[in-house]
Amino acid sequence: MKAVTPSWRDRVTFYKIDTEKNAEVAEAVKVQKLPTLILFRGGKQVDRYEGLMSGQDLDLLLRKSMR
């Protein structure tokens, strides 16, 4: 995520949640695997990805979701 963050800094806000310390948040968004990336727009989930991904794949996912 750090590799992609600078190019998306003005358009996307990234949050990292410790699921052990914030179990209620993890339950609310139904995190079952780590890592999990959930994209929200206007407070609603628009996309979700579970598992490791490359910076290039993350960039493609963000581009697709920002349309």
Domain region containing 47: 5-65
**What is the CATH classification number for the domain harbouring 18?**
3.40.30.10
Q: Which helix (H) or strand (E) holds 41?
A: strand 36-41
Give the span between the Cα atoms of 17 and 56, in whole angstroms. Answer: 22
Give the global pTM.
0.81
Structural domains of the chain, count:
1
Summarised one tens digit per residue, pLDDT across range 18-29 is 999 999 999 999
Summarised one tens digit per residue, pLDDT across range 32-58 is 999 999 999 899 999 999 999 988 888
